[in-house]
Amino acid sequence: MHQLTVGQFKAKFSDVVQKLLSGQEVVVSYGKKKEKIGVFVPYKNYQKKTKRKLGIWEGKASVRFAKDFKMTVDEFLNS
């Protein structure tokens, strides 16, 4: 993981894009204390999807959605 200040990030944006394409994360810091304010991660790392567990109902219940259900499963679970 690489750390850059906002100024360095602006000046080396093309390098940051190359780091992201190669799978590396980039941290952006700000101010005299170089406080970390954000992290840029490759999209493939951001888009990880895991199955949701039913908690205490795991193994005892299941959930199924009708094919004509208007919401996607992700929209339903995130609402």
pLDDT digits (tens, 9 = 90+) for 32-77: 999 999 999 998 888 766 676 767 877 888 777 788 878 877 787 7
C-alpha angle 68-46-5 in degrees, rounded to nearest 5: 150
Tell me the HSE value of 25 on the side-chain side, using a 13 A CA sphere.
Answer: 8
The answer to the question of residue 30 being in a domain is: yes
Range of the domain at 22: 2-46
Number of domains the chain is built from:
1
pTM (2 decimals)?
Answer: 0.58
The answer to the question of residue 26 being in a domain is: yes
How far is 65 from 37, CA to CA, in rounded Å?
Answer: 40
The answer to the question of residue 75 being in a domain is: no
pLDDT at 49: 67
Largest interatomic CA distance in the chain: 56
| CATH number assigned to the domain comprising residue 42 | 3.40.1620.10
For 12, the token pair is 């080396």
The separation between CA 8 and the C-alpha centre of its own chain, rounded to angstroms, equals 23
Report whether pLDDT(4) > 90. yes
